[in-house]
C-alpha cells in the first residue's frame, strides 16, 4: 500500500484491515490529503508505519541529498536556481519514482517532480545515494 489521496468516499476506512473505522491519518508532508489511514488496532498502526517507511523519504533526508536550494528546468527549457524542497518524497506505485514538491524562492510557484528529474537538473547529486545520508 502506498500513500493515496483521501477523499470523502474513502475517509474513515482503515487501509490495513478495511473492516474497522479508521481514526488516525498519517499524511505526506506538504500533501495534507495524501497518506494512509489506520484504526485503533496496534497491528494496523504498526503496518501503516512500516508502509510509510518504504514509500516515503523524509524531507530532511531529501535536503541532505540535494542541499537547501536546487535548480530546475522550466517547460520552455530555461534553467532556474533557488528552488527549495518543501515535502517528503513519496511513491504512488512499487516500481515508480519518488515524487516531491518544490517551490521557487518567492513561494509563488510550485512544481511536483520526481527525484530522477531533480538528479538530471542537479547532476552533482545524482550519485549521492540516500542510504548513506
Question: What is the model's pLDDT at position 130?
Answer: 64
Q: Residue 133's pLDDT is what?
A: 44
pLDDT along the chain (133 residues), means of 10: 79 83 84 89 93 93 91 89 94 91 92 93 73 49
Closest CA to 51 of 26, 20, 30: 26
* pLDDT for the residue numbered 128: 66
Q: For residue 45, what pLDDT is reported?
A: 93
pLDDT at 131: 56
The per-residue pLDDT for 23 is: 75
Query: What residue ranges do the domains of the chain occupy?
Result: 4-55, 59-132
Amino acid at each position: 500500500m502506498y500513500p493515496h489521496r483521501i477523499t470523502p468516499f474513502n475517509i474513515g476506512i482503515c487501509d490495513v484491515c478495511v473492516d474497522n473505522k479508521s481514526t488516525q491519518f498519517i499524511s505526506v508532508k506538504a500533501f495534507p490529503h495524501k497518506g494512509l489511514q489506520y484504526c485503533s488496532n496496534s497491528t494496523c498502526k504498526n503496518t501503516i508505519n512500516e508502509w510509510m517507511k518504504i514509500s516515503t523519504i523524509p524531507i530532511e533526508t531529501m535536503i541532505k541529498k540535494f542541499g537547501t536550494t536546487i535548480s530546475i528546468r522550466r517547460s520552455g527549457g530555461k534553467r532556474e536556481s533557488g528552488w527549495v524542497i518543501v515535502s517528503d518524497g513519496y511513491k504512488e506505485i512499487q516500481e515508480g519514482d519518488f515524487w516531491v514538491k518544490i517551490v521557487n524562492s518567492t513561494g509563488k510557484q510550485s512544481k511536483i517532480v520526481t527525484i530522477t528529474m531533480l538528479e538530471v537538473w542537479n547532476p552533482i547529486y545524482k550519485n549521492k545515494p540516500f542510504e548513506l545520508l
